[in-house]
Structure 1
């Protein structure tokens, strides 16, 4: 795994570069958060959908809720890039829609849109 920092003015986003799954559980998410905060000075993270275990997108596992609650507690913002239409779940679709209205978590189709969202919040 590699972390590339995208900086615009005083806003820094940690972009995770990896061909493998980076987050398989809550501890992995916490380790990533601590690593980018300590090593890169970032409180904004961009991940590709493929870097997160599929259980995250099965809301009944509660993995997404647990991870996003931890990130909320530590004031870390997260954007996940990918195509989410392949999930046949109304609850996930609603969750994504509501998240995208906020200022903390986004599920977006392109890295450019994700970076714009992350850099656009304090």
Structure 2
């Protein structure tokens, strides 16, 4: 699992835009291992790195992947535009709204929104 950046002391790692999609539980565990190896508590995953089935709640991919992050207490941040998916699925829209109200799984449009959520300067 390659990491584009791990800001020293920030506790945040960013997966690179290019790379294999996160599609199964082992992919989440690999990302969690990268987070632990960098002493990070947050991992930022570009929306493009998520398997297309992630956005269809009926497949179970979203719940399988996010549950791994929750179980290991690593915050998952999905970075990018998910508007097409929230417009296509009321269930996914509700999921995004509910998880964004919490602290474990976030969907943010860009780095500025992430910085705001983290309470830091962009």
In the comparison of the two structures, how many residue pairs are matched?
Answer: 117
Pairs within 5 Å for 1:102-121: 102-118=102-118
RMSD: 1.8
- 8 A contact 2:32–2:74 mirrored in 1: yes
Task: Look up the SS of the partner of 1:106 in the other structure.
Answer: strand
Aligned residue in 2 for 1:45: 43
Shift of the alpha carbon at 1:6? Answer: 2.8
Superposition TM-score, scaled by structure 2 size: 0.85
Pairs within 5 Å for 1:25-64: 25-38=24-37, 40-64=38-62
- 8 A contact 1:79–1:107 mirrored in 2: yes
Pairs within 5 Å for 1:68-87: 68-87=66-85
1:30–1:36: structure 2 CA closer, same or farther, 3 Å change rule? Answer: same
Whose RCO is larger (CA < 8 A, sep 6+)? 1
Looking at secondary structure, tell me which structure has more strand per residue.
1
Aligned residue in 2 for 1:100: 100
Aligned residue in 1 for 2:16: 17
- 8 A contact 2:42–2:75 mirrored in 1: yes
Superposition TM-score, scaled by structure 1 size: 0.85
Structure 2 portions without partners, runs of 5+: none
